Amino acid sequence: MNLKPWRQVIDPRADLREGQSLDTSEFAVHLDMVHDRRGYELYWRPEQFFARTYLTKSLLDLAAETARRLSGLKEGTSAIFNMTTQFGGGKTHALTLLYHLAQNGPAASQWVGVPRILQQAGVSHILQAKVAVFVGMRFDGRGGDDDTPYRRTPWGEIAWQLAGPEEYQIMAPFDEDGRAPGGDTIARLFALVNQPILILMDELINYVSRYRQGGLGAQLYNFLFTLAEETRSHDNVVVAVSIPISEGEMTTEDVDDYRRFSKMLDRLG
The domains of the chain are located at 27-268
**pLDDT tens string 81-133:** 998 754 445 888 999 999 999 999 999 999 999 999 999 999 999 999 999 99
Strand pairing partners for 135?
202
Handedness of CA 256, 215, 246, 200 (dihedral sign): positive
**pLDDT tens digits, one per residue of 246-267:** 666 788 999 999 999 999 999 9
User: How many helical (H) and strand (E) elements, i.e. helices and strands, does the chain have?
Assistant: 15, 4
- Predicted TM-score (pTM) of the model is 0.90
Q: Which residues pair with 238 in a beta bridge?
A: 198
pLDDT tens readout for residues 176-229: 999 999 999 999 999 999 999 999 999 999 999 999 998 999 999 999 999 999
Candidates 104, 103, 59, 105; CA nearest to 83 is: 59
